[in-house]
Structure formats: structure tokens, C-alpha cells
Chains A and B, each alone.
Chain A
Amino acid sequence: MYETAHACDVLVIGGGPAGLAAASHAARCGRRVIIVDDNPRWGGQIWRRGSGEDESPQATSLFDEVRRAGVKFIGGAHVFNQLQDGSLLAEAADGVHRFSYEKLILATGARERFLPFPGWTLPNVMGAGGLQALVKSGLSIRRRRVVVAGSGPLLLAVAAHLRKRGAEVLLIAEQAPRARVLRFGLRLIEWPEKLLHLMRLQRYLFNVPYLTGCWPVMAHGRRKLERVTLKRGARLWEVACDYLACGFHLVPNAELAQLLGCETVDGAVWVDELQRTSRPEIYCAGEATGVGGVELALIEGQIAGCAAAGREDEARRLFAARQRARRFASALNAAFDLREELRELATEETIVCRCEDVRLGQLREFDSWRAAKLQTRCGMGPCQGRVCGAALEFLFGWRVTSIRPPLFPVQLRNLAYDPSSEAERVERG
């Protein structure tokens, strides 16, 4: 087994907007900084580079800053466990990497929330962001008929992207009621950059119906998706399509923080005004602290970077900007809050946990996530509740407790990383 040890002042987990901003700020304050990300390249969910086409000027200048600041980037490394306080383990293609740090900044982002409905496990029913990622990495979507459904502005971004790549986007179904979406749209004047972004997207969405108060109730097909039934008000109708790209807003990736013993509130990592978690040497920035969009991620990252580098004064100068971005975040989350009716989509027979084939009806007799898990195996598979957990939280109000290593499936040889043998190796080297 090949093992590599790294040491730095500030370690950043996640190379999305928050992590990049944090890293460049900490490095500019003279700290040795490393960013670790499980993807081969930095950029996170939004600026994930592959084709280069999505590179906004904002992204390009941040990438340059990070490079200039002398930040070291370790891609393709998945943090899966803590060795001890001050040291994390990651799995990469060449074995285990160990990272020791003085300060840690978690910028692990968010993931999509899936809600179970009859047929959601059919092939070609996908996460909206998931389909976007597949297309970015080469899946051809030309002339394919796509229904984009769920909630949140992500649907627009995904639809625009798919259309650019030649997809026939039939419609966008947004569950939030029209009044809420409109009110949110009007408020966008407060954040002109968001309005601009929306207008840019709309260029690509010309002629695509955006149906508010509309959601999928069932996906049909024999071997794979053929049709989807949509509901809007009293009306139910079927739409024939090749893909259903579905995402019901986002949920924070708080598992690493939880593993390290940081407090969470409502599923998001708790932070103080300096982006410090309940563990004093650990900071958190971006969507892991709550879903709020890219501007908030950037500004939180900057604050965390300064604070972790000991430059509280600089961090404080950014508080006003963060306040403004947070107002947007709460407007966003209020507008796209999930409606009650979505709780009724899954029937007793609908599979909730895909890893272990657990159906909704099996869960009813239990009163907590852990009790249900122990008795039904729900959430016991390779994803460890990362997918079904957010759905069950919405359906039953259960929270996934007891986060255990490894955070992601890892090879046993890497899980068997032996700290004592490595110490010997380092001494000899």
C-alpha cells in the first residue's frame, strides 16, 4: 500500500466556490494551504470543469487567485475518516493520503434531495444535477426529450445546460406555488447579479414552459422511463419522455462535520459569526452551513479563510456582504419550501431505500431513523442514508444520527491504514 503524508497550516475540504475562496484568503495571509477534493479538478458542483464551457469570469478569476496564492490542490482524494484530532485520512487511486493541519475548513457543499414517488427508481429517472454532471462528462443528450421537475433554481440551471447540449426540454415542473415564486422573482432586484444570472439562463429557456405548482406523481415504463404523470391543481396528465431530471432542492453535506463532532442545526453545520464550528479549530463555509447559493458560499469562504488565518479584522469587514447574501438565502429557502402534498406521493409499495430495497410501508411502525434502520435495513447500504435520509427527514421528520466511518465506501486495504507503521516510515525517511 502506498501512503502519502501531507502537513499544512490550513486544510480545506472541498474545492467548490466556498473552499476556493477560503483557501485563497488563508494563503494570502501567509498560511500554507491545501485543498482536498474527491473530484480530479476543482470548481465544485457549479464550476466543475471538464469542457471549460461553463467557466464564468468569476470562476476564472478565482481559479487564478488560488493559483497565485500558492495553494496546493490534491484532487481525486475522498476524505473518509479522522485519524485523530488534527489529522484526516483520504482515499485516492494511489492509496491513502494523510493530512495534518492546524486549522480545518469544511467546504463540503450540498447534494440534491430526492423524494420517492411511484416509479422513481426506473432507469432514466435521475437527479437533475446528476444528469447535468453525466452530460458534462460526455453523455449525449441531443434530441432526447427531458422533463425537469422538483424545486429550486437548480432546475433552471440544469434545464438551460441540457438545452445548450441539444436536449429537447419539454417543461420545467416547479412544485412551489406561483405566488411564492413570483414574490421571490420580484425580490431579485435586491441582488442584481442573481437577476442577471437568471436572465442569462432565460436565453436558453426560451419557449420552455415553466409550470409552478406542478410536480411529478408517477413515472411509468417497462424497462426504463417512458412517461411521467404530472399534477397541477386538479389536473393530471401524462408526458412521454426519455429522461426525468428530478431534484427537490438541496441538503447540506454535513456528515464529515458530524464525524468530527461539530454540532448541526436542522441538518446544517452550526457556525458562529467567524464561520467557526462548535469545535474551535474547525471552520465551515458554503452550503454545508445551509443552502444559500454561490455568492453566500464565496463570502463565507472568504470569512472562514481570514478567520482561520488569524485575521479576524479582515473577516469582520466581510460581515455586511454576508448579511446581504444570507437575506437572499432565506428568501430562496422560503420560496422553495416543499409543499405538504409531496409527503403523499409515495405509496406503501414505493421503494424508499434503493440500496436495500426498503418500501415505505415497512417504515411506518417505527418512531426514529435508527429504530427503522435497525429493523428494516433502511439506510444500511453503500450510501449509508445519504439518499434516503433527506427523504425520510421530509416524510417523517427523522434525522440521520450516528455517522460512522468510512464516510464513503473505501477499499479495506485503505481502511486498514496503520498509523504506527506510517510513523516508522516517516522517521526512516
Chain B
Amino acid sequence: MRISVTVNGQTHVRDVEPRLLLVHFLRDELGLTGTHWGCDTSNCGVCVVQLDGVPVKSCTVLAVMADGHEVTTVEGLEKDGELDPVQQGFVQCHGLQCGFCTPGMLMTARWLLDRNPDPDEGEIREAISGQLCRCTGYENIVRSVRWAAENQEAKA
């Protein structure tokens, strides 16, 4: 089936099997391996991307369901060579250890800040509650998102 998906602003037309999952479309068809793939059961959230601006678990979305829609992956956060404030926050506050959960955390954090520019700790924890950090670095992840909230205009 022929689909056309706009990923990080660029439109890609591909012939895919309907059973292809969005996470594999992004990683294997488009080579965008920033989106990770973990539990495969919609529990861990490493595969989170934004679909029309809303975070979803891409291991539980078919690529054909994204036909005609816009997807943003972690590769799309950087603008004009500058890291997004949430990315800078993770750098500044040691928000990652192995980095496996990080792309999903970043996509959800960006969405949270777009809707709520000044979230408190509870709101940040709630927003990322569907995402697991295997290194259990939640304290620093929360601090990183707070850093981004306080430095929304930050330039790298």
C-alpha cells in the first residue's frame, strides 16, 4: 500500500505492507533510528513520537495509519543547528545515563511544555508516567524538564 507521511517536515512516499508498525517504518524504511524500540507492548514508551503534534507509542500505531499525517521524531527537535531547550536541559542536568529512554522522554517533555510552559514536579512526573527509564534516572529527568521550562528561549 502506498503511503505518504511527513516526517520532521519532509514528505516520504513509500510502498509498505499494512502490518508494518510506525516504529519500524521510521527506523528501517527512513533510517531514523533516534526513535527506539523496546518492550513492543505499549508499556515502556521508548518509541514515543509525535503524531500531528501529540505523543503516541509508535510500536502500537500502524505506518498506514500515519498516511497523510505529520510525524515528529527526536531528530526533528533540533532547529537550525540548535538543540531544543528540552535537549539542552537533559545535557545540563544529566538527564540521561544510557540514553535508551531519552528520545521518548524528550518528545513527551516537548509536548508537555507546549501545553503547559511552567509545569511543577507532579505534572512532569504525570506526563512521563507511561515511560520507563531503565537506569531509573527519574530525578534528573524531572530536573531536566524543569530546566527547559525555565530556559525556554535557551540557545545552545
Whether chain B is bound by chain A comes out as no
Give the A-binding residues of B (Cβ under 8 A).
none
